[in-house]
Chain A
Amino acid sequence: MASHVINLQQVVKSYHDSVVLDIPGLELDYGVYWLLGGNGAGKTTSMKVMAGLIPFQGDILLDSTISCNKQPVQYRRYVNYAEAEPLYPGFITGSDLVALYVKTKGKGFREVQEMIDLLGLGSFIHRPVSSYSSGMLKKVSLLLAFTGRPKVILLDEPLITLDTQSLPLLYTLVEEFHQQYGVTFCITSHQPVTAGSVRLQVQDKNIVKI
Chain B
Amino acid sequence: MALSKIFTTRFYAKNTGFFLVIFYFFFGIVPGGQLPSYHFTLIKGFTGSPGFLALVCLLWLLYNLKCIAFIINILSTKEHSFLYGTLGILEGNARWRTWIWLHLTLYAPVLIYSLVSAGVALKLGFHIAALVIMLFSLLMVIAPLWIYVHKMKHPGTVFMLYRWQQWFNRTIRKPLWSFYGHELLNNNMRSLAIAKIASALIIIVTCSFMTDKYDERVLLVGILVCALAQSVLVYNHRRFDDLYLSLLPQLPVPLWKRYLQMGGLYLALIAPESILLIYKTWQQAAPIHWVMLITSNLSLLMLFRSILYFPRIDQDKYFRWVLIIIVAILFMGLARIYWYGILGMQALAGIIFYNRYYRYEAPLEKVD
Task: Please give the residue numbers on chain A whose beta carbons come within 8 Å of chain B beta carbons, in ascending order.
Answer: 15, 51-55, 69, 72-77, 80-81, 83, 86-93, 95-96, 99-101, 104-105, 126-128, 144
Contact = CB atoms under 8 A, between A and B. Distances in A.
Interface in B209-263: 240, 243-247, 249-254
A15 B176 contact: no
Interface of B: 166, 169-170, 173-174, 176, 179, 182-183, 186-187, 240, 243-247, 249-254, 358-361, 364
Contacts of B359: 55
B176 to A, nearest CB: 6
B174 A96 contact: yes
Given A72-B358, A86-B247, A92-B174, 12 more contacts: A51-B250, A52-B249, A55-B358, A76-B250, A83-B246, A83-B247, A88-B244, A90-B187, A91-B187, A92-B179, A96-B173, A126-B166
Given A87-B244, A89-B245, A126-B170, A15 B364 contact: yes
Contacts of A100: 173, 176, 251
Give the secondary structure class of B's interface: helix
A127 B169 contact: yes
Nearest to A73: B252
A93 B358 contact: no
Contacts, number: 76
Given A15-B364, A53-B249, A104-B253, A89 B173 contact: no
B252 A93 contact: no
Nearest to A54: B361
Given A53-B246, A73-B253, A91-B183, A128 B358 contact: no
A101 B250 CA distance: 10
B252 A91 contact: no
A55 B183 CA distance: 26
14 contacts: A52-B358, A55-B361, A72-B358, A73-B254, A77-B252, A80-B250, A83-B247, A88-B244, A95-B170, A96-B174, A104-B253, A105-B251, A126-B166, A144-B247
Nearest to B359: A55
Contact of B252 (A96, A104, A127): A104
A97 B169 CA distance: 12
Contacts of B182: 89, 91-92
A187 B298 CA distance: 43
A99 B254 CA distance: 18
Contacts of B250: 51-53, 76, 80-81
A103 B250 CA distance: 13
Given A55-B358, A95-B170, A89 B244 contact: yes
A86 B250 CA distance: 13
Contacts of B245: 88-89
B366 to A, nearest CB: 12
B244 A105 contact: no
Contacts of A54: 361
A152 B300 CA distance: 40
Contact of A55 (B251, B360, B364): B360
A194 B250 CA distance: 26
B252 to A, nearest CB: 4
A144 B244 CA distance: 16
Leading 7 A-B pairs by shortest Cβ distance: A77-B252, A76-B252, A99-B173, A89-B244, A91-B186, A55-B359, A104-B251
Nearest to B312: A16
Contacts of B247: 83, 86, 88, 144
A132 to B, nearest CB: 13
Nearest to B172: A96
Contacts of A93: 169, 174
A194 to B, nearest CB: 24
Given A96-B173, A96-B174, A89 B246 contact: no
A124 B361 CA distance: 32
B240 to A, nearest CB: 7
